[in-house]
Amino acid sequence: MSSDHEPLLLQQEDEDIINNITQTHSLLKLTRWFLKFAMLFVLIAWIAFLLLLPSESVSQLSENYVDATSGSVFWVTGNMFLYGGPIFIIAFLGILYLRISGHQEFQEKKKPKNASFRLWTFPVIVDGPFGVVTAAELIVILIVVVYLIWAVSVYAVQNYNLIPYYESQGKRNVMLKHTGLRFGSIGLICLVFLFLPVARGSILLRLTNIPFEHAIRYHVWLGHLTMTLFTLHGLCYFYSWILEDRVIHQVLDWKNYKIANLPGVISLSAGLLMWVTSLPPVRRINFELFFYTHQLYIVFVVFFAMHVGDVLFSTIAAGLFLYMLDRFLRFVQSRKTVDVLSAKCLPSGTLELVISKPQDLEYNALSWVFLQVRDISWLQWHPFSVSSCPLSGDHHVSILIKVLGNWTNKLKGHVLSANEDQTEVDALIRPNLKLQASVEGPYGHESPYHLMYENLVLVAGGIGISPFVAILSDILHRVNDSKPCMPRNVTIIWAVKTSEELPLVHSLDLNSMCPNFYNRLNLEIQTYVTQESEPPLEEGDLQKYISPCDFLSPSRSSMSRLVGTGNIMWAGAYVVVPAIGLFVSLTLLNVLYIIPYNVSYRWYKGLLLLICMVTSVIIFGGLVIGLWSRKTSSSENSQDEKKSIGIQHSESTSQKTSSDESCIKTIKYGQRPDMKEVFGNIASRWGNVDIGVIVCGPSTLRASVAEECRSKNFGRKCNSPIFHFNSHSFDLSLPTKQGKEPVLPSQEKTKWH
């Protein structure tokens, strides 16, 4: 009897398990939707409050709230919560959302019946002061412009109504001072957002899936707007002092109970110096000048805190605090040196470095790392895109470096330095190279968006092919491992100067990555050699480069796991614990020091607030980092120390055009890609589908690709595709002068760290 019922019981148990899984999945999905709605509601309410702040009703309500909370034991936490609290709330909810979502393997989505437009991938403005601007970015820009016009208009009316109350001071003086005050108020709102885009591993960037190389543009835009407003703020006051004939007295004035002028002058001077050296004409001439003067942001922030005092400085505290957290974590991560497992010098003047990484350090095929080689420079950090995919090896990351300026030439010379008895080939391939580097990252998109399109067009210029090598490898490995992978049609458009660069792509052994991949993937590679009219005579004699495939080295030092884009639990704790510690510290400071000792100097309390923020980052953030390091160290010791590096053979290409059963490769000499013709052919072949376009290269290439995407989308017919523009270029990382290479802002380790 029992044996007859066992299958029924097992079947019932299986059904119960399936039901439980379904219910759990539904509950998690419902929770994610709730968190999304909550974060969106908080964001909209917060933005609406900031936009309506110039109105008298909202401004009066804000002043009443600040007055009520500032006199309590909580000191400035009330004002900080009003202006910056939504940032913390969204960050905390975002941590829960990312934790519930978990690191899920990319899932193929159902193919849409028709192509559809997306605001964030639809280029609207191509040539202009903002570069390539999508429809979503344009909407935000228009909202900011409307807000500025409305705020200035409202404040102008309010200032005009105040003139009768200040007749004795003169109408011009009254208008100048109050106009300067209003410009400063608007600039303060811009400063609330200024530091958010430059926090590379920020929870907010992970939540919105905006990588740092995109977010830095918003920091640049906000920086120009903020400094314009603060400059107008300073000029209005300075002119009013000229009218009063009290310029020297007012500049040197340092009030204790009101706004202190001298700290404001110092802060504005530091800001102006940063602003002027960040303008394109100056940055193109001398990028290092821009980088080093940009470290004056510390002077700007410190004296700004003393200028406005504790209450007003608490307005920008949330965004600044998140940046401090990110900066401190990057500082700790970069203290660890990493072994370069192997290095290769390719004929095209390109270096390939293979860097050791922990097995559980996650990244995707469109990630960036920041590299410092102390044997070359203790100050310079350089960003490079990853050229390996996560599926090509658990213990290493590969990057391609184009030799263009001083730093990369020194790196190449260091790699090629060999003993006299070494042959040339031995010098070019140095697997036992004693080279160490410091690494920050990896950073990039939270999700692999290149897998979200069934049809892909990858457009690269020169070394811009590096991330596309990673994308191609990622797709092939997924096809080979039968993992979810949406791309079915991939076209690579690559423009190079000389044929020496061709082996970077044309020598890849695609069949070794995925045998018979052509059954599931249509791949076409179109290469344009712009400075050669025909193939070189000795093209078939290009040297092969093979690196050893196995490293058994327990002593090898790998990249640190301490990265903001890493484990969400630890990254979340690193935000939550210091934030709570900050609020507790402010309250204790107020109860134990400010109230008992009757501390009332406005500038001094602003400085105390800044010091409390820094100490909270170091103490509470350092506590989390210590526990995080201890946890990762024990995890690292338990892992297998064997680190495998895949072999990559470079084979020469001797034919001008080749086509086989796996891939169509076309090489055209003496011409540049005609984007109109290329996109026209693709549109006619693929029909009414969504096509993801990813471009990596100089600004002129990005502009031409964006212009063609816009043209095709605006002139689209019912049976035509929609081109979704995506840029994977780091504007600030491009060399700006012959023999000069830039370093990104905020990369040098500054004193306050």
pLDDT < 70: residue spans in the chain: 1-23, 102-113, 166-169, 393-394, 418-433, 507, 537-556, 634-662, 730-753
Task: Return the amino acid letter for 63.
Answer: E
Spatial separation of the C-alpha atoms in residues 546 and 428, rounded to whole Å: 10
Chain-centroid distance, C-alpha 324: 16
Q: pTM (2 decimals)?
A: 0.85
Partners of 692 in the beta sheet? 456, 724
Cβ neighbours of residue 449 closer than 8 Å, sequence gap 6 or more: 209, 366, 692, 726
The dihedral sign for the CA sequence 471, 475, 476, 481: positive
Q: What is the gyration radius of the CA atoms in the chain, in angstroms?
A: 29
Question: What's the pLDDT at 695?
Answer: 92
* DSSP 3-state of 440: strand
Distance CA 655, CA 505 (A): 15
Segments of 364-496 assigned E as strands: 368-372, 382-385, 396-402, 436-443, 455-461, 489-496
CA distance 215 to 196: 9
Between vectors from CA 415 to CA 531 and to CA 399, what angle results, nearest 5°?
65
pLDDT value, residue 408: 83
Residues 6+ apart with CB under 8 A from 401: 350, 351, 352, 353, 384, 408, 411, 463
- DSSP count for the chain of H helices, then E strands: 23, 17
**C-alpha distances out from residue 753 to 52, 326, 374, 656, 749, Å:** 37, 11, 19, 55, 7
Cα 444 to chain centroid distance, Å, stands at 6
Q: What is the pLDDT of residue 17?
A: 62
Instruction: Please report which helix (H) or strand (E) contains residue 125, including its range.
Output: strand 123-125
In the 8-state DSSP scheme, what is residue 502?
T
In this predicted model, what pLDDT tens digit does every residue of 286-304 receive, in sequence order?
Answer: 878 888 899 999 999 999 9
Instruction: Indicate if the alpha-carbon torsion angle 62, 68, 71, 75 is positive or negative.
Output: negative
Residue 5 three-state SS: helix
Query: Which residues are bridge partners to 666 per DSSP?
Result: 526, 657
Nearest CA among 73, 564, 487, 158 for reference residue 330: 564
Q: Output the CA angle 620-564-29, nearest 5 degrees.
A: 105
What pLDDT is attached to residue 545? 39
Whether omega for the bond prior to residue 442 falls within 30 degrees of 0, making it cis, is: yes
The pLDDT value given to residue 647: 36
Both structure tokens of 552: 């058994």
Q: Which residues contact 125 (CB under 8 A, 6 or more apart)?
A: 132, 133, 138
**Which two tokens mark 560?**
């640190």
Say if residues 296 and 304 touch (Cβ distance below 8 Å): no
CA dihedral 235, 238, 244, 250 (to 10 degrees): 150
